[in-house]
Structure 1
Amino acid sequence: MDKKSQRFRRLGEKRVTNMIKHLRLIGNLANKKNYTFTKDEAQQMFEAIEHELDQTKKKFEHYSSNDFGEFKFK
C-alpha cells in the first residue's frame, strides 16, 4: 500500500469514528428528560446532516469517475 492510501485509511478511520461519536451525541438530544424540542427542530437538524452527507458522497463520486480518464457529458 502506498503512502497516499495509508494516509487515506488512517485519516478515514479516525474521521468516521469521530463522526459516529458526534452522531451519537446528537442522538442524546432526543432524551426528553433532559431536552425539549419540536419535530421541526429535529427535522432541521437531520436535513442539515443529510445535505452535508450528500455533498460528501458527490465529492467521492466525482473523483472516482475521473480517476480513469473517462469522458462524460454533464
Structure 2
Amino acid sequence: MSEKRMKFVKLAEARTQAALEAIRKIGNLSNRRAYEFDDGDVKKMIKALRDATSDIERKFGSTSAAEKDVFKL
C-alpha cells in the first residue's frame, strides 16, 4: 500500500468514526425528559446533516453511501 493510501485510510477512518460518534450524540438529544424541542428543530438538524453528507458525496464524485456502525476502509 502506498504512503498516500495509508495516510488516507488512517485519516478517513479516524475522522469518519469521530463524525459517527458525534451523530450518535446528537441522537441523545431526542430524550424529551431532558430536552425541549419541536419538529422544526429536528428538521433543521436533519437537513444540515443531509446537506453535509451530500456535499461530501459531490466532492468524492459518489452518488451513494454505505451505512456502517464502525467505519473501515
TM-score range, shorter chain: 0.7 to 0.9
Where do 1:3-14 residues align within 5 Å? 3-14=3-14
Where do 1:54-73 residues align within 5 Å? 54-61=54-61
Runs of 4+ in 1 over 2 A off after TM superposition: none
1:18 CA displacement: 0.1
Say what the alpha-carbon RMSD is for the aligned residues.
Answer: 1.0
Structure 1 or 2: more helix by fraction: 1
Where do 1:8-27 residues align within 5 Å? 8-27=8-27
Larger radius of gyration: 1
Q: TM-score, normalised by structure 2?
A: 0.82
Larger RCO, structures 1/2 (Cα 8 Å, 6+ apart) = 2
Identity within the alignment, %: 29
Q: TM-score, normalised by structure 1?
A: 0.81
1:50 CA displacement: 0.3
